[in-house]
Amino acid sequence: MNYTEKYRPQFHYTPEKNWMNDPNGMAYYEGEYHLFYQYTPFSNQPNFEKMHWGHAVSSDLVHWEELPPALSPGEDGAIFSGSAVVDKQNTSGFFDEEGSGLVAIYTNNGNTATPDKPQVQSIAYSKDKGRTWTKYLGNPVLFPDTTLDFRDPKVFWHVETSKWIMSLAVNDRVEFYTSPNLKEWMFASDFGEDVIGTHRGIYECPDLFSMDVDGDPNKKKWVLILSVGDCNGVNPNDPEPPAGGSGMMYFVGTFDGRTFTPDKPIHSIHDLKWIDFGSDFYAAVTWDNTTEIDGRRLWIGWMNNWRYADLLPTNKWRGSTSIPRELKLKTYQEGIRLVQEPVEELSGIRSPLATLENVTITPDTNPLTDITVDKAELIADFEIGTATEFGFKVRTSADEETIIGYNIAMKKLFVDRTNSGKTDFHPDFAAKHEAPLEPDDNRVRLLIYVDWSTIEVFGGDGTAVISDTIFPTPGSDGLNLYTVGGNVKLVSLQINELQSIWLPNDKVKENIHAHQDRLV
């Protein structure tokens, strides 16, 4: 396998070839993180009638071993998005007495047994750590009443009621169902139909989970995640996500085992909370069974946008994931907010390249002139001075650059990819994306990940996140510090080159086995 093709990300997961979109079926089981995803195994274009679940595993969330597709379409229809859970108590009865295993819950699209209800929910189980799957003979396990959009089940075990909870995207709302055994489901409640400003696109890929607030286990809140598609919704006049096309939002509230209630009513579009202000972070879902292992709530997203997803200028493969991220809830003056941080495991592929401390940056200087990087981590802390704007220009050459900057007057972080390389495959791709970011004690902190075709920027402590794809010429590897209109103090800067994750498969397997041995 060659993972060095033009634009191939070097520390983001991509399948060796062909099309991928939504991550699904995320679960941690017996030393392995499972990444399933929507996959067309014979084309770099999406084929929704022939959609499979692609499959990869990792011991460290960084290096991945691609496995054969896990679930394939048949007379039951295509295999759309869904989730996987660790059935620890064998509530399903699929496993040996006192045994456990993985159960996948997914949408069958185009089920021939129900032609008037093309989207139904089905389940499958695995007794060998996800390598082979058996579809349940009693499928489908859940049918819609009327809607044609009835998909993307995300399931978790609710300890307080000793039941499984399913969140399901149903056109303009999320429906919640309960089950004792993953086979029999009862409607509980719904949410979202009357939420102002959220219906430009149909709802997709919901996720509901509980989290500590400010790290306090005695103070918990529930978070409901919604992905919103690119138009085709019930109200095309509703606002687009911040960067246009498809995007993600969240709500913080309470859940009693049946009903989700947001803490704050949505009175206007200004009350909406967006997860990522870039174009290319969508359909992110969390891993099952990680909070029980180490307390972390982890997730990963698809780095693409339905507005131009099938037009990306890649050939052998099309579509990638974001870096895995840890989620936290923190209290701010305006209330509780969702915070994202890159997983700590990424430190294992760092190679320190350069450091700077207490340097004044002026409009006519660039202390990084001699540094070139095409995949790197930048950790920077700035103190605001007389400049009106400052930041970095990455993946630069004589005629290409991607700008990661901060506008002081507007208090906005931004990524400008209008001159980032190849942008002409869609008229909306060349754009500048902005996120609100308040300085902290007159300082601005930026954590930036640059790859061969991706940019991920975490502003402050992770409240302002911008994720964008870029397609620069391979030789565009310059790096600049810049200011506009005055000076800024660079308090500290650490530049780390990031190693490629594409080890030979035998080396990946060796890492996984070593991790499993440590767990014994």
In whole angstroms, what is the distance from residue 361 CA to residue 489 CA?
6
pLDDT at 87 over 50: yes
Catalytic one among 22, 416, 468, 477?
22
246-264 burial code (b ≥16 CB/10 A, e <16): bbbbbbbbebeebebebee
Q: What is the pLDDT of residue 510?
A: 55
Residue 473 pLDDT more than 90? Answer: yes
Are residue 445 and residue 312 in the same domain, yes or no? no
Burial class from Cβ neighbours inside 10 Å (0-12, 13-18, 19+) for residue 194 reads exposed
Could you tell me if 334 and 357 lie in one domain? Answer: no
Q: What is the pLDDT of residues 358-396, one digit of tens each?
A: 999 999 999 999 999 999 999 999 999 999 999 999 999
Tokens of 449: 């990940």
**424 has catalytic annotation:** no
| Beta carbons of 53 and 79 less than 8 angstroms apart | yes
Is the domain of 249 the same as that of 235?
yes
Domain enclosing residue 325, as ranges: 24-342
Mean pLDDT value of segment 351-360: 97
Same domain for 123 and 160?
A: yes
Whether 246 is in a domain gets the answer yes
Calculate the CA dihedral of residues 297, 55, 17, 473 and round it to 10 degrees: 10
> What is the percent of the chain with per-residue pLDDT over 70, rounded to a whole number?
97
In this prediction, residue 504 carries a pLDDT of 66
The enclosing H or E element of 510 equals: helix 505-519
| Whether residue 311 sits in one domain with residue 353 | no
pLDDT tens digit string along 286-300? 999 999 999 999 999
3-class DSSP assignment, residue 310: helix
441-468 pLDDT, tens digit per residue, is 999 999 999 999 999 999 999 999 999 9
The pLDDT tens digits of the residues spanning 53-86 come to: 999 999 999 999 999 999 999 989 999 999 999 9
Give the pLDDT score at 518.
40
- Give the CATH number, domain containing residue 443: 2.60.120.560
pLDDT at 514 over 60: no
Q: What is the Cα–Cα distance from 50 to 39, expressed in whole angstroms?
A: 9
pTM of the predicted structure, to 2 decimals: 0.95
Q: Which residues contact 121 (CB under 8 A, 6 or more apart)?
A: 82, 105, 106, 107, 108, 140, 141, 142, 150, 153, 166, 168, 185
Mean pLDDT of the chain: 94
**The pLDDT of residue 252:** 98
Mean pLDDT of 312-322: 97
- Helix, strand, or coil here: 173? strand
Q: What is the CATH number of the domain that holds 266?
A: 2.115.10.20
Whether the pLDDT of residue 285 is over 90: the answer is: yes
- Which range, of 99-103, 111-115, 131-135, 327-331, averages the lowest pLDDT? 111-115
**Are 45 and 170 in the same domain?**
yes
Tell whether the model's pLDDT for residue 197 goes beyond 50. yes
